[in-house]
Structure 1
Amino acid sequence: MKHLGGGLVATYEEPIHPRTSGGSTRSYLVRRLQPHLPPWIGVAGVGIAGALGNWRWEGSAGAGVGLTLASVALTGATWWAGKTTSSQRRLHSAITVAAGSAWLTGACLAGPLTGAMDDLYLIGGPVLALSWNVRLTLRTSDPAGETADKGLLERVGLARAQIGAAKVEPNRVTAPLLLDAGTQTNDDVAKALPGIASALDVPRTAVRYQPDPSSERRGELVIVPRDMLADTVRWEEEGPAFPGGSITDPLILGVYDDGAPLALWLPGDKQAGRNATHLLIAGMTGSGKGDGALNLMTEILTRKDVIMWLSDPKEFQDFRPLLPAYDWAVSASADTEIMVEAVKAVIPARTKWLGAHKYRQWEAAASRKQTDPKHSCHDDGTACGCPGLPFHVTWFEEAGVSLGLLGDDAFNSIANLARSAGMALIVSLQRPSHDQIATTTRDALGGRLCFGVPNATAAGFMLPDTVLDAGAAPERWANRRPGYNYLVAPGIPEERYADPGRTRWFTDESVSLMETIAQWFARNGAQVDPVTEKAAATVAGRAYTERRRVDVDASDLEDDDMTDENEPLVDADDEGIDPEQELPALGDGADLPLVQETGYKPDPAEARQLLAQAIAEFEAAGQMVIGPKDFTDWCDRNGYSRPWVSERLKEAYLEGRLADAGRGRWRIVPQMYNA
């Protein structure tokens, strides 16, 4: 067994061979005694030096002065040289040098056999030698004569660093590290982590370093000898962590590599000193990002004080079992565009409500009926009884597609303002590079859930430099270990940022449990509050008020597929028609089309009327954000150009029928609210 200092332990079984000869026994004893010989050699050397010095300088006053000064200088040099060692070793070394040099001075001047000089030598010499032997025995059993942790640090270029007493936990060792002043910094430890992992024969991600923020030469070295993430955990085996709880309870996504729960918080908590956060989820194809998203989504949808909007251009491929739980779910790009506009309108409405009810930030009490006079919107201090305001999560899945269509500015205002409105924005995409998402938006999202990435450059887009320096390396997994991730978010201790975790695995057997969760939420979860509903409808109109909702209580059979036995199979107007009779001949002009495809161009007044009708048709269809390109077919039918349409859209904007949505796009103002 080989011990690495105060708890940094690597075990090796040394083969025990039978000693079959006296020669092997003698060699073994010599090898074990060799580390203890230097103190005895030093004692013998001092005795010989004393005898030779007496032969040379006996009775010499000048030699006495020189030897005394030399003894003092040597003792002082020993004390100075020991400043980087422990205080016990420094004192022991100085006492040994002082005693040896004092005896040597006396022996050179008076003679080694004069008076009590020989007795002092025969008693004091072995005592000093044995004191060093005892110290070496207590310090380590390593025959090399130095602790293994010092040998480890020396091999990785940190020879002068010191390791303190380690804290040993199940599958986790934490040791304080003190670097040499003026020559070593925390950056040197970060560079040495691969070497430490190699010396300990553990994966690179099993060794982390947490610098002390108040010092450039102090920190903690963390080693996790056994990867507890290797065993895949099925989600349905454990299920949600806090079913029926609050969104303020931790969202458990999986476990860390030392077995601790992988937890995330979205709302803030002033008592805990935690800020609210958004979340950016990223990972390459096959890294387990989809299962990670399901872990988070099922945790959210089992809490009673939250509502969720979802945009998924993949037509809810992964999330379809959860559809009944969403307040609003869209897949088309036009619907995503209007959802973004709705979120922009909802934010000020919610912040106004929170301010009127004296909430500096959203908390669980805000989701309930306001019966506390401290949170009343009445000026007289009486309880107002207003309906509560649930926490609001807006999730953009495969957001690279949405950003490509909407532009970087689409999420900027949401990311910067939504946290104060009791809202969390979750953006999921494969690679959050500069060409996918703006740096401003990425920084405003705050939280990071980083799965495996193809290279270190991609890791730099997701994780802060301090986390990468501490040992985080998601490129080491790529997509070879699905579910492995790093989580960086408020409420998580900073020393945990570089600890890898793993989300749970969703199998085909988990679908029924997901459907049960969705049905429970549809019946028992929070309903959209009047403030959010009105603000969304003001912007989105029928796109929100007539949004697709899944009725969990509806029969599996559609009404169109059911036939009443007593209902006639032929309409009353068609009862007198003989299906065998020939149709009457067509009259002159009866074969002309009802609408002339070409050759007719409406006058300006009629064209404006047709354009207004087209806008109304877009509104009726739920497409609330439009632009000239959406009128391509209309222009072809009526012989007008897109520039003409652009001018008419600007006129509609001045009249209040449209609102500017940016990027040459216009948002339809619903007529019922415009009136």
Structure 2
Amino acid sequence: MTGKDIEQRHEEQLKGSSGGGGIRAYLLHRAKPYLPPWLGAGTIGVTGAAANLVWQGDTGMGVLLTLGSVALTGSTWWAAKGTGKERRLHSAITVAAGSSWFTSAALFGPSWDMWFVGGIVTALSWNVRQIMRRDPDGAKASSSDGGLMEKIGLAKAKMGAAKVEPNRVTVPVALEAGTQSNDDMAKALVNVASALDIPATAVRYLPDPNSARRGDLVIVPMDMLADTVRWEENGPSLPGGSITDPLVLGVYDDGSPLMLWLPGDPNAGRNATHLLIAGMTGAGKGDGALNLMTEILSRTDVVLWLNDPKGFQDFRPLLPGIDWATDATGTETMVEAVVSVIPARTSWLGAHRYRQWEQAAAGAQNDPAHSCRPDGACGCPGLPFLVSWFEEAGVSLSVLGDDAFNNIANLARAAGVALVVSLQRPSHDQISTTTRDALGSRLCFGVPNATAAGFMLPDAAIDAGAAPERWSNRRPGYCYLVTPGVDEGRYSSPGRTRWFTPSAISLMEAVAGWAARNGADIGSVTADAAAKAVGKAYTERARHQEENPEAGDEDEEETVSQLDDEDRDIDPNEELPPARPGEENIVFDQGDGVELSREEARTALQEIVAQFEDEGTMVIGVVDVMEHAERFGRKRGWVSGELQQMLQEGRLAITAKPGRYRIVPVMADA
């Protein structure tokens, strides 16, 4: 019967007949639950007196009764093992006392004084226990958690009033002082999920930073991520907005938006950040990258540089909106360019009195507070935010070394540059821990094991219940986001990015076309620094144009010609003109094995370096030159020494990786 049924029956009894029969019936009914202990005590007294008439002085029966008393007490202790400690002990003592009195009464005669006092005390103890079990306050306290804490092994923990939101329940928890801590609650989360029969990822615990035994238990009863959301259904979240507005990637499991910021905001107390994206094959990392990239391209004050060793397999529809895109051959060049533009950008920001990049820096500088002149507004063109994205960075790092991005990660935030690094597993053998720690934001998709999760997520998020290894790659798009500007309690909440289908390509192309027409211009500060560092690799970069129906070209890349103006009309099939005086002394191939003179070889090496520059290959090493140097009989030691000489002469510059050199463009000083 429910509590309401009991109260109703009680009310009916109180309103019943007031006659003698009604009162007696009511009293008897109320006394019934408390009669069994008294009946038991009476039964023992009667049977003990009767047994004395049969077995008085019987030694053999005394031994049997003693053994029976011990066996009965042990059986009671064993049978009560599923009950509470207090009930088990109370039952065993009662049985031991009753069987001992019965044995003594049967052999030596009943001791009625002991029976009277002992029977009353024993019966009353069980009556008191029964009354306390029905205490309304105790029942209310017990029902507050439905016995949940007892089931998970934290019986003395207290749960407060639950805060119920749409698909989210938050319950304050106070653990027992001195014996329980927040660590115990974090370890019991799987048991909580089991008790509630919900997925393990639907339960998390958010410790109170000011207490070692208090926190909030968060339960998300319904997985709102199960239904896949197509990106093309909504497209970018804020077309025409600023990069300082949140970038929406999807939703959390309670339906709230999954979003991050790349620039900092001192008013909001948010630092600028870099982003590390990681997840195993098939976990949805590619769609997550597309969500972020389309958000970036839909903003008006940001420029995107992309390096993709896969040759833009996923990103090709977005290329018209990207300022500079390189494949595997241009990775080193882009790294050197980004490193070189950082001081130029920080110098501009400092001259215009910006401690960090902010939205006002992207427009014309008409505010005297941000002027590089002491006598009023300078009107200088703005400096857009720059995102430098290295996709499948594991391939790049295998070539450049695990610390290739160290300088960028440590210096770029102050320059209004965000570094995005995407790879499958950010372990120490892939990327240096220094770089990984400098990438303040993490977008973690499914991983194969808890060790891989530890490379991406902070310990606090894992302790609170974050476990991307639980879904691995079985739920593409499921992820955890750790980033400044988002409440740390959200770090352990799973989200899901939106899904890109083949039908999204047309909208992606529209976003890229919009970005090409309305996006930010790179600006002279960044462009000049990049050109000075890598020359034609940037100034003659491939420009991916929008589809032009009138021209009939569906997917065309327009590249600025690398020929000088006076050479544009040369027919490549014509015979070369006779060598002019002095040119016949430069020989690149001695088929007869005759070595060039030192000056001839040095001239040939300079021509090879110039050829690399013309082709846009701005980072070289001995191994690259040897492919050409072998034609004129020079060894690696000679080539290495000559490159060092060119380094001293300023034709080459050092890079982050030992043994690799950046070609200094011929016109860089000009």
TM-score, L = length of structure 1: 0.74
Asked if the contact 2:393–2:422 (Cα under 8 Å) also holds between the matched residues in 1, the reply is: yes
What is the letter of the counterpart of residue 298 of structure 1? Answer: T
- Which residue in the other structure is 1:590 paired with? none
Measure, in 2, the Cα distance between the counterparts of 1:633 and 1:209.
Answer: 60
Structure 2 residue 460 is matched with structure 1 residue 466: yes
Query: What SS does the corresponding residue of 1:533 show, helix, strand or coil?
Result: helix
2:323 equivalent to 1:332? no
Counterpart in 2 of 1:90? Answer: none
Q: CA deviation at 1:132?
A: 6.4
State whether structure 2 residue 400 is matched by structure 1 residue 406.
yes
Deviation at 1:551, TM superposition (A): 2.3
C-alpha contact (below 8 Å) 2:626/2:639 kept by paired residues: no
Structure 2: how far apart are the matches of 1:37 and 1:368?
85
| Cα 1:557/1:182, change in 2 over 3 Å | closer
Deviation at 1:327, TM superposition (A): 0.7
Q: 3-state DSSP class of the match of 2:188?
A: helix
Q: Does 1:303 align with 2:299?
A: yes
Equivalent residues, number: 527
CA distance in structure 2 between the aligned counterparts of 1:461 and 1:673, rounded to whole angstroms = 41
| Residue 166 in structure 1 maps to residue 162 in structure 2 | yes
User: 1:265 and 1:559, CA in 2 relative to 1: closer, same or farther beyond 3 A?
Assistant: closer
Q: Quick one: distance in 2 between partners of 1:39 and 1:271? A: 71
Deviations 1:602-659 (Å, cap 9, x if unpaired)?
A: 1001111111111111111111111110112222210000110110111111111111
Shift of 1:154: 1.1
Q: Which residue of 2 aligns with 1:673?
A: 668
Deviation at 1:206, TM superposition (A): 0.3
The alpha-carbon deviation at position 147 of structure 1 amounts to 1.8
Map of 2:615 onto structure 1? 621
Give the aligned residue type for 1:342.
A
* Distance in 1 (alpha carbons) for counterparts of 2:30 and 2:665: 95
* Letter aligned with residue 602 of structure 2: R
- Structure 2 distance, partners of 1:495, 1:274, is 16
Match of 1:292 in 2: 288
Are the equivalent residues in 2 in contact too, given 1:150–1:162 (CA < 8 A)? no
| Structure 1 residue matching 2:275: 3-state secondary structure | strand
Shift of 1:136: 5.5
Please state how far the C-alpha of 1:408 moved relative to its aligned partner: 1.9
TM-score, normalising length: structure 2? 0.75
Aligned to 1:509: 503
State which of 333, 347, 356 in structure 2 corresponds to 1:361: 356
Tell me, yes or no, if the aligned pair for 2:144 and 2:159 is still in contact at 8 Å: no
Please report how far the alpha carbon of residue 538 of structure 1 lies from its aligned counterpart in structure 2 after TM superposition: 0.5
Please point out which of 652, 660, 663 is paired with 2:658. Answer: 663
In 1, Cα distance between the equivalents of 2:274 and 2:627? 40
Matched to 1:329, the amino acid is A
Following superposition, the deviation at residue 660 of structure 1 comes to 1.1
Give secondary structure in 1 for the equivalent of 2:506.
helix
Deviation at 1:208, TM superposition (A): 0.2
User: Cα deviations across residues 118-138 of structure 1 (Å, max 9, x unaligned)?
Assistant: xxxxxxx99x9799654456x
Determine helix, strand or coil for the equivalent of 2:389: strand
1:543–1:39: structure 2 CA closer, same or farther, 3 Å change rule?
farther
Quote the Cα distance in structure 2 between the aligned partners of 1:38 and 1:407.
85
Structure 1, unaligned stretches of length 5 or more? 4-35, 49-124, 141-145, 561-570, 574-592
Query: Does structure 1 retain, via aligned residues, the 8 Å contact 2:328–2:396?
Result: no
Superposition map of 1:85-124 within 5 A: none
Return the letter of the residue paired with 2:381: P
Q: Distance in 2 between matches of 1:659 and 1:134?
A: 82
- Corresponding residue number in structure 2 for 1:586: none
Which one of the candidate residues 626, 636, 639 is aligned to 1:645? 639
Percent of aligned positions with the same letter in both sequences? 65
Q: Deviations over 1:319-374 (max 9, x none)?
A: 000001111100023x1101101111111111111111111111111100000001
The equivalent residue for 2:254 is 258
* Contact 2:547 2:555 (C-alpha < 8 Å) held by counterparts: no
Counterpart residue number, 2:266: 270
State how far apart, in whole Å, the 1-side matches of 2:135 and 2:545 are.
Answer: 82
How far, CA to CA, are the matches of 2:555 and 2:619 in structure 1?
33
Equivalent position to 1:482, from 472, 476, 485? 476
* CA displacement at 1:599 relative to structure 2: 2.2
Contact 1:39–1:133 (CA<8 Å) still a contact in 2?
no
In structure 2, relative to structure 1, the CA distance for the partners of 1:648 and 1:372 (3 Å cut) is same
Among candidates 424, 430, 444, match of residue 424 of structure 2: 430
Q: Distance in 2 between matches of 1:492 and 1:432?
A: 23
> For residues 210 and 165 of structure 1, what CA distance do their matches in structure 2 show?
16
> Which of 369, 380, 391 in structure 2 is aligned with 1:397?
391
Question: What whole-Å deviation, never above 9, does each CA across 1:126-181 have from its counterpart, x for those lacking one?
Answer: 9x9799654456x27xxxxx326162111111111110111000110001111111
| Structure 2 CA distance for aligned equivalents of residues 655 and 254 of structure 1 | 53
Structure 2 partner of 1:199: 195
Q: Does 1:383 align with 2:373?
A: no
Residue type of the alignment partner of 2:152? V
Q: Which residue of 2 aligns with 1:341?
A: 336
Structure 1 CA distance for aligned equivalents of residues 278 and 552 of structure 2: 37
Aligned partners of 2:310, 2:405: CA distance in 1, in Å? 20
Displacement of 1:40 after TM fit? 8.4
